[in-house]
Amino acid sequence: MTETEIPTLPFPTDQALEPPAEWAELRSRCPVAHVRLASGDQAALVTRYDDVKAVLSDPRFGRGTGKKDAARIADTDDGGIMNSEMATVLPQEGEGHLTWRRLVGKWFTAKRMAALRPGIVAMADQLIDTMVADGGPVDLKASFGFPLPVWVICDMLGVPDSDRDKFSHWSDCMLSMTRYTQDEMAAAMGEFGAYMAHHVALKRVTPGEDLLSELIAATDDDGEPLSDAVLVATGQGLLVAGHETTANMITKMVAMLLADRTRWEQLLADPKLVRSTVEEALRFDANAGLGMVRYIDADIELSGVAVPSGTTVMCSMAAANRDEAAFADADQLDLTRSPNPHLAFGAGAHSCLGQALARTELQAALETLLRRLPTLELAVGVDELERVDGLAVGGLTKLPVQW
């Protein structure tokens, strides 16, 4: 394969909800494929379920933060979010990473998620009240999918959700691969860092019943508190991850269900399917974004292919979730699928810390939409939906709906 023949991620698609044709071809014939990233750097793309799970679950392999020969995902000097100041401050491996996850993970218990659900439902109802008052058609992403998780994560962190437009801009800059210039990304990071540092300082003086206040008071196994730098980076990371991915997933999930409206009717007839539907939408998502980055610092073998030390591996969870070797009728959206061991939240030591919160929000959002807007339908053709471009996360630019 010549330099010009190496494909560039992300692969293009004809329709926003459909997977790239390359996924099935690569799983079948080239499970470890050379690809080029937006930065121009090369990486190895892994698409089979067993391979993706093996790499993500292997504690030896990290994200490549700070590694000079790790591939960059963005066309900037630092290479984007993987090597941003936020990423380098947070412990990425070893005991430091485990300690940080234990401290933050205490907030995401099943008990706390259950306590949050009534508030999430109330906010969802409030957003739908506004939609109904304004009348359709509306953009469900802007009116519902985006503001709901922003409100939730802002409430958890104790920051005002009135700043959500700032958060959205800062998040997009941090997740940019090609959308923003290096100067724009650096400016956004500076503004975001200063904002969160000010917020942490306020919480030290006047703590509340929020996650950051709790982390300020927490100590590690040696009795040491978290530094201001780690607290700021934690706040930034949770704010980005806590609204960007969930906002996009709410929108994509509804789009999947309305693209073939018999699926929506199936849920209306049996609302108990909401939980399995959320899991299946997560598995079926063909527009999940770039995938997980892992830096391989030991020689390994995947599907009989040698992967040398020093390789940056892109793990496509979305492609793995369509693997027929792992899921029967993998290209079918089955609202009753169980069990459903999808990899949408990753696996291993770096699996999504907030997956319980994401599931709670997705379930509450879907239940509320079914209850309040049973006649919901797309206001445009499926082929008119457009993907978000230039970011490491996948999403739709908008979702016009009516009822």
Return left, alpha or beta for 64; rule: phi > 0 is left, psi -120 to 50 is alpha, else beta.
Answer: left
Q: What percent of the chain has pLDDT over 90?
A: 74
In tens, the pLDDT along 201-259 reads 999 999 999 999 999 999 887 888 999 999 999 999 998 887 889 999 999 999 999 99
What is the band of 1 on the pLDDT scale with cuts at 50, 70, 90? very low
Residues whose CB falls within 8 Å of the CB of residue 136, separated by 6 or more in sequence, listed in order: 379, 401, 402, 403
pLDDT of residue 261: 97
Bigger pLDDT: 28 or 223?
28
Candidate from 79-93, 312-326, 353-367 with smallest mean pLDDT: 79-93
For 273, counting Cβ atoms within 10 Å of its Cβ (0-12 exposed, 13-18 middle, 19+ buried), the class is middle
Indicate whether 2 pLDDT > 60: no
DSSP 93-145: SHHHHHHHHHHHHGGG-HHHHHHHHHHHHHHHHHHHHHHHHH-SSEEHIIIII
pLDDT of residue 182: 86
Rounded to the nearest angstrom, the gap between the alpha carbon of residue 66 and the centroid of all alpha carbons in its chain is 22
Candidate from 25-29, 76-80, 136-140 with smallest mean pLDDT: 76-80
Indicate whether 3 pLDDT > 50: no
Q: Are 315 and 55 in contact (CB under 8 A)?
A: yes
CA–CA distance, 195 with 203 (Å, rounded to integer):
13
| Average pLDDT over all residues of the chain | 92
Q: Which domains does the chain have, with CATH numbers?
A: 3-381 (1.10.630.10)
* Per-residue exposure over 96-105, b if at least 16 CB sit within 10 Å of its own CB, e if not: ebebbeebbe
In tens, the pLDDT along 68-127 reads 788 888 877 777 776 666 767 887 777 888 888 899 998 898 899 999 999 999 999 999
Cβ–Cβ contacts within 10 Å for residue 394, how many?
22
pLDDT of residue 312: 95
